[in-house]
Amino acid sequence: MSYVIEAIDLRKQFRDFVAVDSISFHVQPGECFGLLGPNGAGKTSTIRMVYGFSPMTTGILRVFGLDIATHWRAIRTRIGVCQQDNNLDPDLTVVKNLEVFASYFDIPARAARQKAHELLQFISLDHRAQTKIPELSGGMMRRLVLARALINDPELLVLDEPTTGLDPQTRHQVWEKVEHLRSRGLSVLLTTHYMDEATRLCDRLVIMDQGKILVEGKPADLIERHAGRYVIEVDKPDAELRTFIRSHDLHHDDLAHRIIIYDSVSEQLFHTLSSSYCSGNCMLRMATLEDVFLRLTGRELRD
């Protein structure tokens, strides 16, 4: 079994700041692998090493079985990258953005024109081929960045926060496009702040914090393991409820004005709570990846 990406003890250090602290992970062919974590967790640093933008400090990093340090050029011809910034070329039109980008891959002009045409259809921007970049909406730009990353028919797509700042319509459209690409066998490496995005797109993911991997697994397994199936949220809890929670040793987060109870929550418990302690201000819901994320990385702001 050969991996698409194989990272062993990957480390990135800037002077005395360790951005990525000896992490190991692998991505299998056809898989969508997610890197999650708060700001400054080391996601983008990791991704930049994967596509050979920034050199690693120590460790082993192979993409398509090739060493990134020595074969970065061969690797980059086979991957497509959506960077975090919308770095489309504002001096060029929509279609020229794709054609000129194709030239960086040494794709002949005629093939590039054909490919650009197909991709504009794929992202439903064919009617805007001659538009200048600054005239596009944020969603259109993001779709074009995605199309541009596909110009070389990559085997691996690297998406660094692909839907940040987009409206729900565009987000769903981007997800559909990514799912469509995956059905054609494309492997995907994704970073995101959106847990619903990770749950929907990722086969497996890691949650990182301060340069380290905290957990790894399938989204559903991680939810089951770290937050249970159901969660009870109680608004403005009183002292009695707190005593009850403590005496029953329930896993919970106390946010002062709100208590969240995790793990092994049964409907029975919910009925007990809602009838005796918190009628009207408690809620039973499915546990989500966001619960897992917040439990593992904490609720403090990271800037």
Partner 1 sequence: MSRWPSFHITRRFLRVWQRDLVVYQKIWKVNLLTPVFEPLLYLLAFGVGLGGLVGKIFYQQREVPYIEFIAPALLAVNIMYNAFFENTYASFVRMYYQKTFDAMLATPLSLEEVIAGEILWGATKAVIATVIMQAVISLFGLIHYPHGLLIIPVAFLGGLTFGALGMFCTGLTPSIDMFNLPIFLLITPMFLFGGTFFPIDHLPAWARKLSLLFPLTHLVDCIRQLSFGLIQPGILWNLAVLTILFVVFFPLALITMHRRLIR
Q: Which residues bind partner 1 (CB under 8 A)?
A: 14, 51-55, 69, 72-73, 76-77, 81, 83, 85, 87-92, 96, 100-101, 103-106, 148-149, 152
The rounded distance, in Å, linking the Cα atoms of 217 and 220 is: 8
* Kind plus residue range of the DSSP H or E element containing 127: none
Q: Which is nearer to partner 1, 25 or 101 (CB)?
A: 101
Q: Which is nearer to partner 1, 50 or 287 (CB)?
A: 50
Give, rounded to a whole angstrom, the gap between the first and last alpha carbons of the chain: 41
Which residues, 6+ apart, have CB-to-CB distance to 236 below 8 Å? 257, 258, 281
- At its nearest, how many Å lie between partner 1 and the CB of residue 13? 11
- At its nearest, how many Å lie between partner 1 and the CB of residue 212? 20
Of 92, 95, 125, 138, nearest to 113 (Cα)?
Answer: 95
Q: Which is nearer to partner 1, 21 or 203 (CB)?
A: 21
Q: Which is nearer to partner 1, 2 or 103 (CB)?
A: 103
CA atoms within 13 A on the CB side of 175: 17
Max CA-CA distance within the chain?
74
Q: Which is nearer to partner 1, 82 or 227 (CB)?
A: 82
Coil, strand, or helix at residue 256? coil
- At its nearest, how many Å lie between partner 1 and the CB of residue 55? 4
Decide the pairing of beta strands 204-209 and 32-36. Answer: parallel
- At its nearest, how many Å lie between partner 1 and the CB of residue 157? 11
- At its nearest, how many Å lie between partner 1 and the CB of residue 160? 10
- At its nearest, how many Å lie between partner 1 and the CB of residue 87? 4
The rounded distance, in Å, linking the Cα atoms of 197 and 177 is: 13
The rounded distance, in Å, linking the Cα atoms of 50 and 39 is: 19
Q: Which is nearer to partner 1, 54 or 170 (CB)?
A: 54
Which residues, 6+ apart, have CB-to-CB distance to 267 below 8 Å? 230, 284
The rounded distance, in Å, linking the Cα atoms of 229 and 165 is: 30
Q: Which is nearer to partner 1, 18 or 250 (CB)?
A: 18
* Kind plus residue range of the DSSP H or E element containing 176: helix 168-183
Q: Which two tokens stand for residue 12?
A: 């990135």
- At its nearest, how many Å lie between partner 1 and the CB of residue 243? 53
- At its nearest, how many Å lie between partner 1 and the CB of residue 296? 28
3-state helix, strand, coil in the chain (%, to 5): 40, 25, 35
Decide the pairing of beta strands 258-261 and 156-160. Answer: unpaired
Q: Which is nearer to partner 1, 12 or 171 (CB)?
A: 12
